[in-house]
Amino acid sequence: MKFTLENDSSIEQLQALDCWNEGEKITNLSDVNDSNMNKVLRIHTDQRSVIAKQSRPYVRKFPQIPAPIERIQTEKRFYEEIQMNSELLKFSPRILAWYPESYLLITEDLGQLGDFSGIYSSEKKLEPKQIQELITYLNQLHQIQPEDFPDNLAMRELNHEHIFNFPFNEHNGFDLNTIQEGLQELSLPHKSDKELKNQISELGKRYLKKGNVLIHGDYYPGSWMDAGDSIKIIDPEFSFMGDAEFDLGVFLAHADFGDQGDEVELQLKSNYNNPIDWNLVQAYRGVEIMRRLIGIAQLPLELNLVQKEALLNQAKSYLL
């Protein structure tokens, strides 16, 4: 049965799915509207609640941006790999059902948890124990080396455009002054810096190549859920076999936005145990900072232009 998941989806259609316990009845649906990429609903029954997630051929938050609908298949495969690892199993939801004809994934509901986006506005702060949990997750994840994991190339190409290309295109048509007055002018020296752009271009070519370890691919506060006594990790639709340094660089960049970069870096250097190229970590860190400041994938930052300029210069030093 093929159908499109919507807030007003037919309960009768959903009830017809074969993932329910005997006698289990759906009572209502509620929207989970914090997904950037996919349509997500919470399905409530008389016994429990579950999460229904469906990919569309575009980005949910930016419908004008096409995106490969097959990405949900990669997310499913990632969770399958996680569920075979006793250390990682506790971090992510279990798969309950999969309907490939509808690109629909049903997983356990971790609860109405908030993410860690509050670190951008000082509403939230990563505690040392939480930093260690996030490092432990990457330590374990980056030891997984499945031979036949999907290359997820279409999603990587989408991400590549918005990390390594679009933000540094002087003629991309995106007026950053609509985000913050003066940001467009602040961005121009970086968009016209040939040495910087060449370095970013080479880094982008590396990103598109197949690497040796399984990475999450979008390891930032929106993918970290606060369960109180633990952290849950979701939304691995950008996962692929790549550079461990990419996950680490993104992690550090967002710690920088929360003014915890030095603290996270110190813990990372002490507790991340897999072999890495630190210069490569820093390069990915730098490009992630820059693309979040002058690209389309903006964050809810409460920074003035002076602070953003300092971060841009810091990021540039990581790249050159």
**Phi, psi of 29, deg, nearest 5:** -120, 150
Q: Angle 210-213-219 (CA atoms, 0-180°, nearest 5)?
A: 95
Which of 89, 108, 127 is the endpoint of a domain? 108
Q: How far apart are CA 241 and CA 77, in angstroms?
A: 12
- Does residue 75 lie in a domain region? yes
In terms of Cα–Cα distance, which of 33, 35, 42, 39 is closest to 3? 39
Measured CA to CA in angstroms, residue 255 lies from 260, 265, 300 at distances of: 5, 9, 14
* pLDDT, tens digit, 9 for 90 and up, residues 181-233: 999 999 999 999 999 999 999 999 999 999 999 999 999 999 999 998 999 99
In a domain, 1, yes or no: no
For residue 170, the domain's CATH number is 3.90.1200.10
- The reply to whether 152 falls in a domain is yes
The pTM is what?
0.95
184/249 same-domain check = yes
The pLDDT, as a whole number, for residue 65 is 86
pLDDT tens for 75-122 read 999 999 999 999 999 999 999 999 999 999 999 999 989 999 999 998
Residues 100 and 215 both lie in one domain: no
Total domains in the chain come to 2
Whether 4 is in a domain gets the answer: no
pLDDT (average), residues 298-302: 96
CB of 184 closer than 8 Å to CB of 177:
yes
**pLDDT single digits (tens) 38-72:** 999 999 999 999 999 999 999 888 888 889 999 99
Give residue-wise pLDDT tens across range 225-265: 999 899 999 999 999 999 999 999 999 999 999 999 999 99
Q: Which residue segment(s) compose the domain that 296 sits in?
A: 114-319
Interval 115-150: pLDDT, tens: 999 999 989 999 999 999 999 999 999 999 998 999
Q: Which of 73, 93, 108 is the last residue of a domain?
A: 108
Q: How confident is the model at residue 4 (pLDDT cuts 50, 70, 90)?
A: confident
- Does the pLDDT of residue 35 top 80, yes or no? no
At residue 2, the pLDDT reads 75
**pLDDT band per the 50, 70, 90 thresholds, residue 34:** low
Do residues 271 and 178 both lie within one domain? yes
CB 245 within 8 A of CB 277: yes
